[in-house]
Amino acid sequence: MTYQTTVTSKGQMTIPKVFRDRLGLQKNRRVIVEFEPKDQSIKVKPALDFFEVVKRLKRPKRPMDVLKAREFMERNYERA
């Protein structure tokens, strides 16, 4: 499926409706744009929002003590 679109003077372009529908893109939705240097092309895919990321996280099987969780984090993760 190929469509042609125009780049405006501001460098913007419209993603055709058929592609927006297939990607599930709605108004004000964020997207990820990747440049493929090998074939000089651009990939567009929906970005996950915060709530979609949270849904994918696995919940612990049993509650964890807050102090133990903090100790674990400090032992295993570097500060940015």
Q: What is the mean pLDDT of the chain?
A: 87
Mean pLDDT of 43-72: 82
Query: Could you read off the pLDDT of 30-48 as tens digits, one per residue?
Result: 899 999 999 999 999 998 8
Tokens 């994918």 sit on residue: 56
Q: Per the structure block, which two tokens stand in for 55?
A: 């849904």
Tell me the Ramachandran region of residue 28: left when phi exceeds 0, alpha when psi lies from -120 to 50, beta otherwise. Answer: left
β-bridge partners, 32:
45
- Farthest CA pair distance, the chain: 57
78 or 3: whose pLDDT is higher? 3
